[in-house]
Structure 1
């Protein structure tokens, strides 16, 4: 069976996969996934046998369709595509070049960069968080960045595109901001309980963020038939939460931050991302003058607008 996609250049490591289909308009569509676990971007040149037309990259999360360098070659189409670690791309071959903006890569350089000045008065975002096999769900306050950027009309002239770009903060905040208020290991039928606040506190001071709900750790084997739960009340950076889980599960006191964000510009949803690259095309929501930008729910830093 011939390959659906050939790699002409670029190091796959055996972890770049492709799925090929034909849509209802009889156009070839490729789903290409870079499943290499490191964060480094990888540049590839692919060849799609028997394909015809111009390849476009469709990104539903970021709400954009972009063009990549391509050429008709041999029995199909060859094209260049750069993918970050864990990034995937949907490539559709259209009949003719529609003049889409060029897809940015790690080596693209902006025409101009504007810092987004933070507004400390932004309202927080609140969302539910639960551990594995949780019995209870607590409302946890997420991180919000809100700021203002002023754009001159000239900066958006000549068909330029504006992108909201940011860097993600550290995977965890300082462990010094996490404080255990109370931890109880108790049978759900009321047949006994134990205060394990000291144990959980010591575990947190040691740098742990996950507490397994195991009888051998939390106070010996429970009586036969008495299923127990661990309930932890804690405070993290001034915000309180309570989580609870059964035997055999685990409690995550501070979920690992995701490389993900939802972006709003002047109150309108502009798109988002899960994984790198940490940017969203916000051109259609931008206006000359003052613009308000909001990024949530994980911590970000060095928020800026880049024009290309």
Structure 2
């Protein structure tokens, strides 16, 4: 398949720059997975798309202040670093400009509270560094780091927690699992009252999720690996859901990739942890997920390819055209979509 098949025209004015004050006030575009039929709803109507015994799966990752601005120790040149994922005693990072650093380069942040030494140098600006600091890294990042908002968001985020889900638990992401931003404790309680199971997985969002697809033949695109974990409790709930012939509703592409990875590797939902680089595009056979709640994604991104695979390219492109015409809000702080 060609990259241009996943392109669409989006007025810049529809790119949401700030989150809504009320999380659940977002609009909801509901699309039938098979027929492509569309309904315009509000996010509080999400309850209508669940039945007792269904399971909702959420990603409980927490975004860390992963964007750091420092200086090269030797020259004082400015260096920007985005933390992607811990790798044993090292950290995988994205450095800009990459040409300014070599193996052995030291980068200082703040007044020396954090020092990074480049240990391994890879392509596309990706490096592995060794950090030197006192105390706990998370506390140092809280003091020195910034929330890593996507480049299409130009406004300053006044409230950091608004880029976190209300159910976040495990720190480690370089970006939010944005489909989960619409959920409130009230909506989750209403779902539980309806008899819906709530289950959690963890996938730390990194380069695999937001790295652009740069090849014309999308089948040759290579995903960057991201860490995931699924607990025994979640595996048990999901397997029971399957035995009862009920549905698994995944919130976001991160949950979907995790669940499909586990089914691919173990043939059933199994307690497991590891790195996944699964790339889902049209032609993929879904074995874990029955319905998908997601945001509206960037043109030509691996995310819109996953969404297109879950229904089909024609249905999704028609839905996106409808969303543009009806002035839905797009991307991280935008409106939601359910494909059921």
Q: Which TM-score band (shorter chain)? A: under 0.3
Greater fraction helix: 2
TM-score normalised by structure 1 residue count: 0.21
More strand by share: 1
- TM-score normalised by structure 2 residue count: 0.20
Larger radius of gyration: 1
Name which structure has the greater RCO, CA cutoff 8 Å, separation 6+: 2
